[in-house]
A and B are shown apart, each in its own frame.
Chain A
Amino acid sequence: MEAIFFIILSIIIIFSSMMVILKKNPIASVLFLILALFSTAAMYVMLMAPFIAAIQIIVYAGAIMVLFLFVIMLLNLKKINEGGAVTLKILGVIVAGLMMVVTAVVLRSVAIPADSGFLRSSPEGFGTVENVGMTLFTTYLLPFEIASFLLLAAIIGAVVLAKKKL
């Protein structure tokens, strides 16, 4: 049963991720990206991490992608230039290749037990709100606080840049 859901979700995620870069219409790309992020949230639910799934939808599929959509709608991009400079293409290939190397290295370092099947079972109450909260405010308190300061700085920076007169 789990395997069937996993396969269906994987197909949706891979297909929509492909469509993000294959579609010429930027609005369609954004919508496929939303679909990909949404299905990733479903994947988190299958991994028994409902809190991460909810945050994935609220933050990525909800807030951030709406802003993407806003910008693209206002720019009203109808067509994107075909072709483009040759140097850009070469650069693109190099960057993509490097990304692939990094991903491969990271994936190799993760040990996956041979008998795990499609999904590894996680300990009881693994991704619940309580457990994530406990970990976040005990073990990872300092990184959490630093991240919040970073966000505050970004907000202040955005306001200062956007408003000429304060």
Chain B
Amino acid sequence: MLQTAIILAKIWGVLLTLVSLAAIMTWVERKQSAVMQDRLGANRADVLGLRIIGLFQPMADGLKMFFKEDFVPARGDKFLHTLAPMIAFFPALLTFAVIPFGDVLRIGTLEIPLQIANLNIGYLFILAFGGLTIYGTVLAGWSSNNKYSLLGGLRAGAQMISYEVVLGLSLVGLIMVFGTLQLDIMVKKQGELLFGFLPAWGIFLQPLGFLLFLPSAIAETKRVPFDLPEGESEIIGYYTEYSGMRFGLFYFAEFIEIIVLSAIMATLFFGGYQIPWLYAEGFQFPWGWEWNLPHLLVVILQIGSFFAKIAFFCWLQVLIRWTLPRFRYDQLMRLCWVNILPLAVLNIVLTGLVLMILN
């Protein structure tokens, strides 16, 4: 009974955190673009004259989405038109289930692992459900009964299938180094030290892997510079025929994907919840200092570090989105198949060689 309650509490906690972070991300994106373009940015929404630097804007956006006309093209497929945004939204939320956001929390004799589902196939689970988002975009394009939407959906499908291949390959090296697909073991191994002082984070073990993973992952979220499927500035993408909350779901799914992607990057390459030199008993610095901390404080610090890393990578992605221009479609495909793919294979071979020499 207690176990069920704990699991439900974890699911609700993660869900609420994720959704509210996504709402804040819409504000971050607008504010960051305003800073970069020397504008004032979103600051019109106010409650009784109170504006708090535009933080009411996400709520105003949400309300607007709900009250807009909900439009389905006359000869489109009504059922699939409704289903598509849900299919796009649901896998993005689900992937967070396997990501550990903290170590084991101990209250008395109770041990609570701070992760919803500790799966043996952890990383494959993310790939599997990430792959399902394609259906949302492709079906959205088709069910709109609009040539341009269909073409947008096809562009999205081709792009996401191509980049899924390199996304999977770019992480094989990391799996070889850690020898597991289980995300919590990966994070625990990143708590160890290299050469006695450097934290064994994925970025230090697989620098090339990270450089290949980052562009492929951003391409999977379909944001600038890879936003050809939606063509945001021209609005000729797969959700051209969407309005109201159906569009809202696509929009929201994009921000949830950003957060999930940041969480994956933090987990795989930047030590997840680990803080350098922080162990279960407290800090143990390589130069000999020790600083013991109570268990609860350590857990809170770890969760805090995990979310700080997520915040950093969210910000980084927004920065990239507002800095780079869009690729041409042939450049996009060439980047994937001609540039990233051979490098990813090279990374696997190199990792294998190094592991063989070390053993």
Contact = CB atoms under 8 A, between A and B. Distances in A.
A55 to B, nearest CB: 8
Nearest to B79: A28
B125 A54 contact: yes
A50 B127 contact: no
Interface of B: 77, 80, 119-121, 124-125, 127-129, 131-132, 134-135, 138-139, 142, 150, 153-154, 157, 161, 164, 181
Contact of B127 (A58, A66, A74, A129): A58
A63 interface: yes
A61 B135 CA distance: 10
A73 interface: yes
A104 B120 CA distance: 35
A27 B150 CA distance: 14
Contacts of A74: 154
Interface of A: 27, 31, 34, 50-51, 53-55, 57-58, 61-63, 66, 69-70, 73-74, 128-129
Given A57-B131, A63-B131, A73-B138, 16 more contacts: A50-B120, A50-B121, A51-B121, A51-B124, A54-B125, A55-B124, A57-B132, A61-B128, A62-B134, A66-B134, A66-B138, A69-B135, A69-B142, A70-B138, A73-B154, A129-B120
A57 B120 contact: no
A63 B168 CA distance: 13
Contacts of B153: 73
A128 B138 contact: no
B128 A27 contact: no
Contacts of B134: 62, 66
* B-side interface mostly: helix
Contacts of A51: 120-121, 124
Contacts of A70: 138, 154, 157
B206 to A, nearest CB: 19
14 contacts: A51-B120, A51-B124, A53-B121, A61-B132, A62-B131, A62-B164, A63-B164, A66-B135, A66-B138, A66-B161, A73-B138, A73-B142, A73-B153, A129-B121
Given A27-B80, A50-B120, A58 B128 contact: yes
Nearest to A34: B135
Contacts of A61: 128, 131-132
B131 A129 contact: no
Nearest to B132: A62
A54 B122 CA distance: 10
A26 to B, nearest CB: 12
A10 to B, nearest CB: 22
A58 B153 CA distance: 20
Most A CB atoms within 10 A — which of B128, B142, B164?
A: B128
A81 B5 CA distance: 55
A51 B181 CA distance: 10
B120 A128 contact: yes
A129 B161 contact: no
B132 A73 contact: no
Contacts of B119: 50
Nearest to A53: B121
Contacts of A50: 119-121
A129 to B, nearest CB: 5
A135 to B, nearest CB: 15
Contacts of A55: 124
A31 B87 CA distance: 12
A123 to B, nearest CB: 15
Nearest to A129: B181
Nearest to B141: A73
A159 to B, nearest CB: 11
A161 B294 CA distance: 66
Contacts of A62: 128, 131-132, 134, 164
Contacts of B127: 54, 58
A54 B161 contact: no
B128 A54 contact: yes
A62 B164 CA distance: 10
A31 B142 CA distance: 13
A129 B172 CA distance: 14
Nearest to A125: B120
Contacts of A63: 131, 161, 164
A66 B139 CA distance: 10
Most B CB atoms within 10 A — which of A50, A51, A66, A69?
A: A66
